[in-house]
DNA sequence: GTGCGCCGACTGGTCTGACCAGTGGACTAG
DNA sequence: CTAGTCCACTGGTCAGACCAGTCGGCGCAC
């Protein structure tokens, strides 16, 4: 018996889709690189031999995917953007909004993710990177006296450094995306917490412990501390019923 | 000194963007749910008091984000789609194509991710779920005699079950996305490997070992085996120079 | 009464052509 | 050489048109 031919569902290919494909392909091949400009809409009309509506629909798709940006009046035409995680973040945020994704799931993911990254980082880190980590701790301590946003930023720098040390930009992107979504959900609550200063101090303390464990080369301990830190920091915003699930993630 | 007011960059809000926002908000509020239909374009023109081009640009954006689907001739109007990870996968695939993301990074991410998921799963799994895992092993064994696609599908079922056991749909989505991208990059090469049957048998053996470790409640061992499996299975497609980085991830 | 095929109202996809506010480079006056 | 003006051209939006395709209902044949 021969294998059945596996037909594909037939769906008409819209003209604007083929334009999107062509531009994305050119980008993948390197014929188009970030910073370059696309021809003006009217010029694209001529090149693709379609109407302006069609070209514009293609541009809207590309724009919503973070590939290009059009600015009215700019004689240089639409700009090819460098990749950013904002489009990814938008997708995940949508996923979260439709409520198929709860805050506790996001946090659980971050605990797992960040723990794994720290474990890897504690093996791969160089002495110089250890110094860098110490420096971010100092920055966090200084930021406490400024305001919560500053502290949040310093905390972000710490986690980005960890992701970089683990030599995997996907981890970095992933952290970035999920962190952004989480903060989007609860940043307002955090900023108005009455004891925010105490929280920040405790968080700083935890981070210092993590760095100590990394210095000692104890990846397990570092990861565990990181998860504990994340839990302590955010658990208050999670319904009691779901806290247990998260707490179970702390131990490995 | 008072805090500086943190101005936002001012950028004109396009009409089609406000339409997108309104529809996405309605979706977030639950006024619109998957399966429902949007009014026809001409009806939307009337409701939003804009031209059809504008409505269509908004629909194209929503469509490219996987929110709706328009079919020509459908008297019911555009359909609200349930969330799927395909839009996410598209974004990550684009990220990979721009070559800021190498195969080795994708695999490294999967090794970390899958290892972490298995470690969590080995703590949370119920006896019934253990039985389910055994069942997927049987399915994989049977699939070897069919063809590579069948085996790949059975393997996918295994990893999806792991993700489900770890009780975090984000892990599931993440695995799904990255796995899809990786396979998109090398599935053709794998399918034509001369010794594909031997590879599949070895992979099956490794999976069985993982399940054994999960049964024994040894999360570390299970995770390590999983990473080893992933490495053995895919390392051949990674440049030699990058294999070392991946090999370093196997041990925890 | 029931099943079938036809038809038309309507859909989305595309095109044409138009107007406007705004941009930025070239050109000019000092 | 600078500062200011100006205009060609940009993207954003609109109105109106045509086409191929779809679906639901009507009427016909059985």
* Cα–Cα distance list, A17 to A126, A151, B51 (Å): 47, 44, 22
User: Average pLDDT over chain A, rounded to whole?
Assistant: 88
Contact between A101 and B169 using a beta-carbon 8 Å cutoff: yes
| pLDDT confidence of residue A99 | 65
Per-residue pLDDT band for A180 (boundaries 50, 70, 90) equals confident
| pLDDT confidence of residue B97 | 74
Per-residue pLDDT band for B8 (boundaries 50, 70, 90) equals low
Contact between B60 and A60 using a beta-carbon 8 Å cutoff: yes
How far does the CA of residue B5 sit from the closest CA of chain A (Å)? 13
Please answer whether residues B222 and B213 qualify as being in contact, where contact means their C-beta atoms are separated by less than 8 angstroms: yes
Which whole number is the average pLDDT over B227-248? Answer: 89
Which whole number is the average pLDDT over B165-190? Answer: 83
Q: Give the B window 58-97 contacts with A, CB below 8 Å.
A: 60-61, 63-65, 67, 72, 83, 87-88, 90-92, 94-95, 97
pLDDT of residue B129 exceeding 90, the answer is yes
| pLDDT confidence of residue B111 | 92
| pLDDT confidence of residue B187 | 75
Which whole number is the average pLDDT over B108-136? Answer: 92
How far does the CA of residue B168 sit from the closest CA of chain A (Å)? 6
Judge whether residue B72 contacts strand D, using its CB and a 7 Å cut-off.
yes
pLDDT of residue A189 exceeding 60, the answer is yes
Condensed to tens digits (0 to 9), the pLDDT of residues B66-111 reads: 999 999 988 889 999 988 878 788 888 777 776 677 888 899 999 9
- Distance in Å, residue A74 CA to nucleotide C24 C1': 7
**In whole angstroms, what is the distance from residue B181 CA to residue B14 CA?**
33
Q: What torsion, rounded to 10 degrees, do the Cα atoms B158, B162, B165, B171 define?
A: -130
Contacts of A178 in chain B (CB under 8 A): 170
**In whole angstroms, what is the distance from residue B236 CA to residue B231 CA?**
9
Contact between B28 and A106 using a beta-carbon 8 Å cutoff: no
Hunting for tokens 């639950």 — which residue is that?
A: B30
Condensed to tens digits (0 to 9), the pLDDT of residues A111-142 reads: 988 898 999 899 989 999 999 999 999 999 99
Contact between A245 and B167 using a beta-carbon 8 Å cutoff: yes
| pLDDT confidence of residue A187 | 75
Neighbouring C-beta atoms of residue A51, cutoff 10 Å? 11
Which whole number is the average pLDDT over A220-240? Answer: 91
- Distance in Å, residue A41 CA to nucleotide C16 C1': 15
């Amino acid at each position: 018996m021969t294998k059945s031919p596996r037909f594909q569902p037939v769906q008409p290919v819209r003209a604007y889709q083929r334009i999107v494909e062509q531009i994305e392909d050119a980008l993948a091949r390197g014929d188009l690189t970030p910073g370059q400009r696309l021809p003006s809409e009217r010029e694209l009309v001529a090149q693709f031999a379609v109407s302006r509506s069609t070209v514009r629909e293609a541009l809207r798709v590309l724009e919503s995917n973070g590939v290009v940006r059009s600015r009215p009046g700019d004689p240089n035409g639409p700009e090819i953007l460098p990749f950013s995680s904002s489009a990814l973040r938008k997708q995940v945020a949508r996923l979260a909004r439709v409520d198929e994704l709860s805050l506790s799931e996001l946090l659980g993911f971050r605990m797992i993710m960040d723990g794994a990254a720290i474990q890897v980082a504690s093996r791969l880190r160089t002495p110089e990177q250890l110094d860098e980590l110490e420096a971010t701790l100092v920055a966090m301590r200084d930021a406490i006296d400024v305001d919560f946003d500053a502290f949040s930023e310093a905390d972000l720098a710490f986690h980005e450094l960890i992701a970089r040390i683990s030599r995997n930009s996907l981890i970095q992107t992933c952290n970035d995306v999920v962190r952004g979504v989480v903060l989007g959900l609860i940043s307002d609550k955090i900023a108005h917490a009455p004891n925010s200063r105490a929280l920040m101090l405790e968080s700083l303390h935890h981070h210092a412990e993590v760095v100590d464990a990394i210095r000692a080369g104890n990846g397990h301990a570092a990861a565990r501390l990181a998860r504990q830190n994340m839990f302590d920091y955010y658990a208050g915003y999670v319904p009691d019923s779901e806290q247990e699930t998260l707490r179970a993630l702390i131990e490995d």
